[in-house]
Chains A and B, each alone.
Chain A
Amino acid sequence: MRTRKVLFLPAAAVFGFLFVWGLSGLPAFGDYRGPYGIVLAQVAVSERHATEVVGATTFDYRGFDTMGEEYILFAAVLGLVILLRQLREEREDEEEQQSDYDQRLEASDTLRVLGIGLVGPLILLGIYVVAHGHVTPGGGFQGGVILAAALMVVYLAGRYLAMKRVRPVPLVELAESGGAAGFVLVGVGGMIAGSAFLYNFLPLGEPGTLLSAGMIPLLNISVGLEVTAAFVLLISEFLDQQFVKGRDET
C-alpha cells in the first residue's frame, strides 16, 4: 500500500502539471480554427442540396471514411457472432426454452403495456430519422439504432419467443450484408457515371425535400439497414446465450 502511494503521488503530480499546462494552451471556448468546417457549412447546401451539413459531410465529402466505419461495425458484429455461436451447444428445443423462460423472466403488466405501446412509434421514428438524414439531424446510423431499440423493447415487454419470431436470423443477416454491400454499390455507381468512387451522380433535387441531395438518402438507407441488422444480431446473440446452456453445464 505504501509503495503504491509513493509511486502514485509523484506520477499524479507530474500528470497534473502537464494536464494544467496543456489546458492553458488550448484555444478559447468556441474558438474554431479549422477552415474546413466553415467552408463546408457554406457550400454544402448549394453544392449538394443537403440542408443537413453533417450528413453531407459524412456521406458525400467524406463518404469513404463512413464506408470504413460501416465495415468496422460489420466486422465487429461478424466476429461476435462467430465467437458466440462456437460457444453454445445448439439447443433448438423451443418448448423447453419457453418454460425455462416463463419461470424466470415474466415481465410485469405495466412493462408489457408500455413496451407494446412503444414499439410502433419507435419503428416510425427510426424510419423517419433514416429517411430524413440529409434534411435534418439524424441519418442511417442514428435511425438504425432506434429501429434496433424497438426490438429490444419487444424483448423487455416479455416476449423472448415473440422476439425470435420478429427477427428471422437469415433475413437479418441478409439485411446486414445487403446494407454493407449497398454502400459500395452506390459508390461504384459514381464510377459507372464516369467519375470517382462515391461521386454524387444522382439528380440533386430541391433542397430540404425528401427526394434531394442525390445519393445521400440511398447511402443513409443502406447504412440504416446495416446498423439495424448489426444491432439486432448483436442483441439476439447475447439474448440467445441466456437460454442456451454452456458446455460446462450440460
Chain B
Amino acid sequence: MTVLQAALLVLVALGGSAVVLVRDPLRQAIVAGIFGLLLALLFFAFQAPDVALSQIVVGSVALPLMIVLTLAKLARLRGSDE
C-alpha cells in the first residue's frame, strides 16, 4: 500500500464520520459532497478510474444537489404552514 492510498483511506474514514457528526442537514449535504470527492480520489488511487469518474459526478454533484433541493422544498412547505 502506498502512502497516498493509506492517507486517502484515513481521510475517507474521517470524512465519513464527519458526515454523521454534522447535525444540520444543509451542512451535512455539503460535507457529504466533499466526502464523495474524497471517495472518488480513493477509487482513483486504488486504480479504479472507471468508478472514480462516475463517483465524482454522482457523489459530489448529484447527491448533494438532490438533498439540498429536498431541504428547500421542505423549508417552503413548513413556511407556508405558519
A77 to B24, CA, bound (A): 28
Contacts of B62 in A (CB 8 A): 145, 148-149, 152, 231, 234-235
| Interface secondary structure of A, over-half rule | helix
Q: A142-B50, A235-B66, A246-B77 are in contact. Are A152 and B72 (CB under 8 A)?
A: no
**A145 B57 Cβ-Cβ under 8 A:** yes
Measured CB to CB, the closest approach of chain B to A237, in angstroms, equals 10
Asked if residues A29 and B53 are in contact (CB atoms below 8 Å), the reply is: no
The dominant DSSP class at the B interface is helix
Identify which of B50, B69, B70, B72 contacts A138 (C-beta below 8 A): B50
B58 at the interface (CB under 8 A from A): yes
Residues of A within 8 A of B57 (CB): 142, 145-146, 148-149
User: What is the CB-to-nearest-CB distance from B43 to chain A, in angstroms, rounded to a whole number?
Assistant: 11
Chain A interface residue count, CB cutoff 8 Å, equals: 25
The reply on A109 being an interface residue by CB < 8 A is: no
| Chain B 48-71 interface mask (CB, 8 Å, partner A; 1/0) | 011001100110011001100110
By beta carbon, the residue of chain A nearest B66 is: A238
B residues less than 8 Å from A129 (CB atoms) = 53
> In the bound complex, what is the Cα–Cα distance between A203 and B1 (angstroms)?
41
| Interface contact B54-A141, CB-CB below 8 Å | yes
Residue of B nearest to A137 (CB): B49
User: Would you give 6 A-B contacts (Cβ < 8 Å), ordered by A?
Assistant: A29-B1, A137-B50, A139-B50, A142-B54, A234-B66, A238-B70
